[in-house]
């Protein structure tokens, strides 16, 4: 895995990717970006994504990784990750590196090494719950490499204080499974946000337009808020 990272980094430097400037945040959609400090999800930071078990959270994570703009790293000890369905969220298989560590310790090591690599734009660690010390190491690694770190887990319990910049709960709605032929529909709950406030949205992923859109009901709720601000 480390050899693959070094090879990818070398190719990135040859292609001039190391000099390419990426926006400091990853955009979701205009309505959600307005609510997030900085106008999107910041890079060089950790974000938690809590799943309801339907595969919706994996789809949301794939969307974020796709929008990171470069090579991404998926780390999971689970052999059934549903990776073929991730292309529906804009994540090309050619950009994806997959690691299947044998232990939790190996998983944390792989995530830290991948986050430190400047040629990797996003790293997802699935099914693990880092303690405070591990979280600090992962956050420092993300700050070093500049990519976005995603912690994907299925527990819905509030684990208490976290070093993650944001914590999301993603719930699949009608057509919300990554394996469904319809447009995926999700309830996105922003449970925690550093320097921001919790909020919930109902959204639909339009694969054909490569866009995340608020459902009509959510847009109707958003309009009065914008009017009051102006």
Distance, first Cα to last Cα, the chain: 52
* Distance of alpha carbon 142 from alpha carbon 43, whole angstroms: 8
Residues of the chain with pLDDT under 70: 1-21, 79-84, 155-161, 174-181, 217-230
Per-residue confidence (pLDDT) for residue 62, from 0 to 100: 93
Instruction: Quote the strand ranges of 139-230, DSSP E.
Output: 148-153, 166-172, 185-193, 199-206, 211-214
Per-residue confidence (pLDDT) for residue 9, from 0 to 100: 54
Per-residue confidence (pLDDT) for residue 188, from 0 to 100: 96
Where in the chain are the domains? 2-6+26-229
Per-residue confidence (pLDDT) for residue 15, from 0 to 100: 46
Per-residue confidence (pLDDT) for residue 210, from 0 to 100: 84
pLDDT tens string 109-122: 999 999 999 889 99
Q: What is 2-6+26-229's CATH number?
A: 3.40.50.300
Per-residue confidence (pLDDT) for residue 213, from 0 to 100: 94
Per-residue confidence (pLDDT) for residue 219, from 0 to 100: 55
Per-residue confidence (pLDDT) for residue 84, from 0 to 100: 64
Is the distance from CB of 223 to CB of 216 less than 8 angstroms? no
- Classify 201 as helix, strand or coil: strand
Per-residue confidence (pLDDT) for residue 10, from 0 to 100: 55
Residues 6 or more apart whose CB falls under 8 angstroms from that of 222 comprise: 31, 214
pLDDT tens string 142-188: 999 999 999 998 865 555 567 899 999 999 886 444 444 578 899 99
Per-residue confidence (pLDDT) for residue 81, from 0 to 100: 58
């Amino acid at each position: 895995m480390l050899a693959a990272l070094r090879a990818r980094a070398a190719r990135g430097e040859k292609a001039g990717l190391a000099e390419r400037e990426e926006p400091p945040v990853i955009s979701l959609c205009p309505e959600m970006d307005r609510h997030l400090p900085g106008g999107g999800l910041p890079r060089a930071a950790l974000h938690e994504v809590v799943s309801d078990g339907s595969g919706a959270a994996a789809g949301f994570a794939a969307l974020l990784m796709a929008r990171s703009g470069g090579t991404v790293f998926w780390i999971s000890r689970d052999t059934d990750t549903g990776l073929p369905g991730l292309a529906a969220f804009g994540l090309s298989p050619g950009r994806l590196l997959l690691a299947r560590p044998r232990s939790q310790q190996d998983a944390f090591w792989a995530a830290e090494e991948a986050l430190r690599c400047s040629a990797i734009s996003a790293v997802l660690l699935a099914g693990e719950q880092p303690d405070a010390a591990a979280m600090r190491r992962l956050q420092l690694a993300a700050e070093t490499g500049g990519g976005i770190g995603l912690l994907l887990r299925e527990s819905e319990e509030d684990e208490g204080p976290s070093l993650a910049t944001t914590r999301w709960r993603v719930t699949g709605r009608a057509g919300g499974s990554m394996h469904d032929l319809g447009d995926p529909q999700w309830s996105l709950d922003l449970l925690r946000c550093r320097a921001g406030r919790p909020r919930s949205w109902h959204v639909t992923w339009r694969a054909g337009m490569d866009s995340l859109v608020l459902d009509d009901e959510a847009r109707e709720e958003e309009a009065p808020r914008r009017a009051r601000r102006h």
